[in-house]
Structure 1
Amino acid sequence: MFIEPHWTGGERRGWIEVICGSMFSGKTEELIRRLKRARIAHQKTEIFKPSIDTRYAERDIVSHDERHIPSTPIDNSQEILLLSQDMDVVGIDEAQFFDAELPFVCDQLALQGMRVIVAGLDMDFKGNPFGPMPALLAKADYITKLHAICVCCGHIASYSYRKVSAKGQLLLGEAESYEPRCRKCYTAGPAADRRAG
């Protein structure tokens, strides 16, 4: 279980928290939970998402279970530095879709004394490291890896299996395009047996 760090007396120091895992593992839900707690504590928060992610809403970050929180859609990670002045907490969702500068941006925010909470897929549908996530995980002070449930066998799932035929790494989609699978069922591909019922 993740124990939220907190500032202690004296100089304010920042840090980076990364929430990672497969699709349907609850990453965005956990990000929203942490950000709402920060707001309850009257901390100044700013939340960002990539502008290309309009699956549920143009501006809000929305989890698969329909929890939501207002955010600012942006085109590149440098905008985060410009829009986060004087914040206590900065949240970033769908980090895998950002440019390679995101780890540097998060580092700068943490050096300015901010708590930076980042959520994203650690692997793409091919099981390869996704975008800036490997560098973010290397720089993180705290890492939470969440798991989904494999739709084929019911074990914990760490992989996002793409069910549709599409070229390219980037395909925004939900349950119609992806499903969570464990290592064994992911490797078995389309031939993986489904649970009865």
Structure 2
Amino acid sequence: MFIEPNLSGERRGWIEVICGSMFSGKTEELIRRLKRAKIANLKVEIFKPAIDIRYHEQNIVSHDENSIISTPIDNSQTILLLANDVDVIGIDEAQFFDDMLPEVCDQLALRGIRVIVAGLDMDYLAKPFGQMPNLLAKADYITKLHAICVKCGNIANYSYRKEAKGPQVLLGEKDVYEPRCRHCYYER
């Protein structure tokens, strides 16, 4: 599905990507930006992958328990169908979406919509995760957040899985993952 770009000059859209390791505050920052947009009386729509039901089936919830209502969806193209007459779109856990997400974000930005996307930039094996590298390449603005390493207290960029078995996608919290700096991650 291709949407005609808004080239009239009346409103310009862009893509913002918030990335980092687990426990770095990505969802917290996404919620903060979306709430500020709402305070500015902008029309906001928020989406998350339907598979992420860790905290709530519908809401996006940060580790600090801040939340904002969202629409769970199974594929990124659904956003194009639901994003009518909006100023800002928020997308959480972008790494779990399909390979059309970067194109969807591009189309939304061309419509004049501010698109704010949050997600893990690397998986537990320290490999680029899902469509995040493509989103980072298309982003107009990038914010990389860091957690604190649980081993040494330095800044952490890595999501260490305590048991390095199983599929790439394994939803979990501090029982399964912990933030680590580069040195402590590779020290294992």
TM-score (norm 2): 0.95
For residues 69-108 of structure 1, the aligned pairs below 5 Å read: 69-108=68-107
Letter in 2 for 1:143: I
Structure 1 unaligned runs (5+)? Answer: 1-9, 190-197
Aligned length: 180
Return the offset for 1:165. 4.5
Alignment-derived partner of residue 110 in structure 2: 111
Aligned equivalents of 1:34 and 1:90: distance in 2?
A: 11
| Secondary structure, counterpart of 1:34 in structure 2 | helix
1:161 aligns with 2:152: no
Cα distance per residue 1:100-138 (max 9 Å; x no partner): 100000000000000000000000000000000000000
Aligned equivalents of 2:56 and 2:167: distance in 1?
A: 24
Which stretch shows the higher mean deviation, 167-176 or 157-166?
157-166
Aligned equivalents of 1:28 and 1:117: distance in 2?
A: 11
Letter in 2 for 1:96: Q
Alignment-derived partner of residue 146 in structure 2: 147
Letter in 1 for 2:171: L
Return the offset for 1:85. 1.0
Alignment-derived partner of residue 53 in structure 2: 54
Alignment-derived partner of residue 175 in structure 1: 174
Letter in 2 for 1:156: I
Identical aligned residues as a percent: 76
Aligned equivalents of 1:79 and 1:114: distance in 2?
A: 16
**Which 4+ runs in 1 deviate beyond 4 A?**
none
Return the offset for 1:11. 1.4
Aligned equivalents of 2:49 and 2:13: distance in 1?
A: 23
Return the offset for 1:164. 2.4
Aligned equivalents of 1:82 and 1:92: distance in 2?
A: 15
Return the offset for 1:168. 1.2
Alignment-derived partner of residue 37 in structure 2: 38
Return the offset for 1:166. 3.1
Structure 2 unaligned runs (5+)? Answer: 1-8
Give me the CA root mean square deviation: 0.7
Aligned equivalents of 2:33 and 2:166: distance in 1?
A: 35
Aligned equivalents of 2:10 and 2:122: distance in 1?
A: 36
Return the offset for 1:63. 0.1
Letter in 2 for 1:115: R
Alignment-derived partner of residue 120 in structure 1: 119
1:186 aligns with 2:185: yes
